[in-house]
Amino acid sequence: MIWNVPNILTVLRLLAAPALAVMFLYFNSPWADWFALVLFVVAALTDFVDGYLARAWKQESKFGAMLDPIADKAMVLIALLVIIGFSGVKAWILLPATMIIFREVFVSGLREFLGDKSHQLKVTNLAKWKTTAQMIAIAVLFSQGIFADWFVDLTQAMDPKMIDAILSGQEEDLSGLVWVQAGAQFSYYGGIILLWIAAGLTLITGWDYFVKALPFLREDAK
């Protein structure tokens, strides 16, 4: 194992995965949402930085090649579990999350079964877009909790009639309540749409890997 900068960033990204869940165990909203969002975004950025540095500095290694996809999957899967747990297990979030989790487990098992032949299942550009879509969708969904808590804080001293009057434009919006509500709705519905897009890309790339692996899965394959 070589302790260069790209590999260190990959290891830190791997450690950040369980830390996402820990944020919600030791902190309350909105701090848990803020910490999780910042941690996830920074970790997601290292996914691009470590690969770029490894190529630019010619520090690519077997350890980094092995750990990088594991760190990516750990980040995405744990983040999805956290979102599912704190979203109330809503079907429109649970279904695409299940598709993503199923595909990642299936492809990982496929690569493990193929052993030394798994290198022939190269990561495609569409698979890279899949990972990017997953991370953007998760980041947007994490931000929804921040906007929701912000909305609650702004409306604590207001009665329902006052809230309705501000949101309908009958009363002046001195606290920016309309913008906060818009942010909450955009991050929630936008995050769900992005998650479904990511799930679609995830299934397409999973099917692509399966088709490419079929020749090695036949009984007479050597």
Task: Give 5-217's CATH code, choosing from 3.40.1000, 1.20.120, 2.30.30, 3.30.1490.
Answer: 1.20.120
pLDDT confidence band for 66 (50 / 70 / 90): confident
Question: What pLDDT sits at residue 25?
Answer: 83
Q: What is the pTM of this model?
A: 0.86
pLDDT confidence band for 221 (50 / 70 / 90): low
**Could you state, in order of their start, the residue ranges of all structural domains in the chain?**
5-217
pLDDT confidence band for 156 (50 / 70 / 90): confident
Rounded CA-CA distance 147/91 in Å is: 21
Question: What pLDDT sits at residue 5?
Answer: 85
**Mean pLDDT, rounded, for 103-128:** 80
Rounded CA-CA distance 47/57 in Å is: 16
Q: Sign of the C-alpha dihedral, residues 45, 131, 129, 37?
A: negative
Rounded CA-CA distance 220/222 in Å is: 6
The DSSP H or E segment spanning 59 is none
pLDDT confidence band for 120 (50 / 70 / 90): low
Instruction: Considering only residues 151 and 56, tell me which one the structure prediction assigns the higher pLDDT.
Output: 151
Residues whose CB is less than 8 angstroms from the CB of residue 201 and which lie 6 or more positions away in sequence, other chains included: 126, 129, 130, 133
Question: What pLDDT sits at residue 32?
Answer: 86
87: pLDDT strictly greater than 80: no
Least confident of 42-51, 82-91, 130-139, 181-190: 82-91
Question: What pLDDT sits at residue 177?
Answer: 92
> Among 30, 20, 28, 24, which residue's Cα sits nearest to residue 180?
30
Least confident of 84-93, 104-113, 151-160, 183-192: 84-93
